[in-house]
Amino acid sequence: MLHIALFEPEIPPNTGNIARLCAATGTRLHFIGRLGFRLDDKSLQRAGLDYWDAVDLVRHVTFEEFEEAIRREGEGTATPPSLLGKGAGGLGSLWILETPAERPYTQAEFQDGDCLLFGSESKGLPPGIRAKCDGRVLGIPMPTGRVRSLNLATAAGIVLYEALRQIKGW
C-alpha cells in the first residue's frame, strides 16, 4: 500500500480531491498537524463526493506522531523500518514533494509502502522536516518557468500515478 501524507493542508477542495484519489487507488491518507478547515466543511465533503467511507484516513497531531505511527506500522519485521530509506515488511521510504526540489519525481524508484509527503499550499514544509529527508526531495518539472508550483491535488495525482505505474508495471 502507498501512503499520501498532507502536512497542514489549507484548502478543502484540494484535500477532498486527494481523498477521492486515495479512495480510488487504495492509498492511505495521513493528515498531519493543524488543518486549515474543519473535516465537516461542505467544500471538503463535496470534493470527496460520496467516497469518504472508502478513504483510509489517519490523523496525526504532530509530525513526530506521524513518524512514530509509520515506525509502529513496521514493527515485527526482520529489519526496523526507516522513514529515511527502504524498510522491511512493506514499509517504504518517505518522499517529500516540494518546490524547489533536488530532482524530478521521474528519477525516484518507488516501491510498495512508500509515502509521498506534501506540505501546505501556502508554506510548504518546515525546513526541519525537509532536512530530515535530505536526498529524498522530489519535484515536478515545470518547463515554462512561469509558475511557482502546481495545485496540490494535481501534484498528488501526478506523482501517485507514477508510483503506481512503477509498482504495478502499467
75-122 pLDDT, tens digit each:
644 333 445 454 433 457 899 999 888 899 999 999 999 999 999 999
- Reported as half-sphere exposure (CB side, CA atoms, 13 A), residue 98 has a value of 24
Q: What is the pTM of this model?
A: 0.88
Range of the domain at 22: 3-168
Q: Which helix (H) or strand (E) holds 61?
A: none
| 8 Å CB contact between 99 and 148 | yes
CATH number at residue 95: 3.40.1280.10
Model confidence pLDDT, tens digit, residues 127-166: 999 888 878 999 999 999 899 889 999 999 999 999 999 9
Number of structural domains found in the chain: 1
> Over the range 85-122, which residues count as b (16 or more CB within 10 Å of their CB) and which as e?
eebeeebbbbbbbbeebeeebeebebbebbbbbbbbbe
| 8 Å CB contact between 102 and 138 | yes
Cell numbers linked to 41? 466543511
| 8 Å CB contact between 83 and 63 | no
Which of helix, strand or coil describes residue 87?
coil
Tell me how far apart the alpha carbons of residues 95 and 147 are, in angstroms, rounded to a whole number.
Answer: 22
Say which residue, 86 or 10, is predicted with more confidence. Answer: 10
Tell me how far apart the alpha carbons of residues 116 and 1 are, in angstroms, rounded to a whole number.
Answer: 12
